[in-house]
Amino acid sequence: MHKPEYTAKARLLKRRETLQAGLGACTGLLLGRTFAQENSLVAAGDVLVYASGDKADQPILVNQVGPNKALNAYPMDPSSQVVKKGLKTLIVLVRLDPKTLDANTAKYAANGFVAYSAICTHQGCPISQLGEVGSRKGKLVCTCHGAVYDPTAGAKVLGGLAKRPLALLPLKLQGQNLVAAGGFIGKVGVD
Ligand code: FES
């Protein structure tokens, strides 16, 4: 008498298990892809290109950027010319007076250019600008909740809710191009 009901329940359970297994496999694939992307963020030799605007995807030339300016960039693989676009590869590039950089930051700078991951370590908002007034003037500022980082000193946190500096990207010059001298130093993104 009860067998059909049991069988129906068993079928339902089996279907649920099959669906869960399928979802698990999909999640695994997604996680796998994300992990692979994080492992290939920026490589030595990648050329910095404009992240947006009418020059998007074109190499940033040093003579195109004035002093005390910040802009967003992406790394481009020089052989395949593929621009590595994504939140975790977004860079904030700053041109400063080389004399203002501390010794450690100067080691990774090129002609006064310093580069950091643009992802705020508080909650992951993209950073694209320098503050213009008061104690924020010339500092990297996150407009979401006001984190302030010092671009002259390894992007150490000067204020706001962030607890950790931005990851630093070593730079070198190749002709007029700015090129990554290695991968990010430090963790990219939020904890
Ligand atoms: Fe940047 Fe909160 S995400 S301060």
Mean pLDDT in each 10-residue stretch from start to end of the chain (191 residues)? 44 42 36 40 96 97 94 97 95 97 98 97 96 94 97 98 96 98 94 75
How many CA atoms within 13 Å lie on the side-chain side of 176? Answer: 8
Write down the pLDDT at residue 159.
Answer: 96
The DSSP H or E segment spanning 141 is strand 140-141
Of 87, 136, 145, the residue with max ligand 1 atoms within 8 A of its CB, to mutate for a pocket test, comes to 145
Question: What is the rounded CA–CA span in Å between residue 164 and residue 162?
Answer: 6
Give residue 145 CA to ligand 1 midpoint distance, Å: 5
**Does residue 151 contact residue 171 with C-beta atoms inside 8 Å?**
no
- Pocket lining: 161 vs ligand 1, CB cutoff 6 Å: yes
User: What is the pTM assigned to this prediction?
Assistant: 0.80
- Pocket lining: 144 vs ligand 1, CB cutoff 6 Å: yes
Q: Is the Cα dihedral 176, 177, 183, 186 positive or negative? A: positive
How many CA atoms within 13 Å lie on the side-chain side of 121? Answer: 23
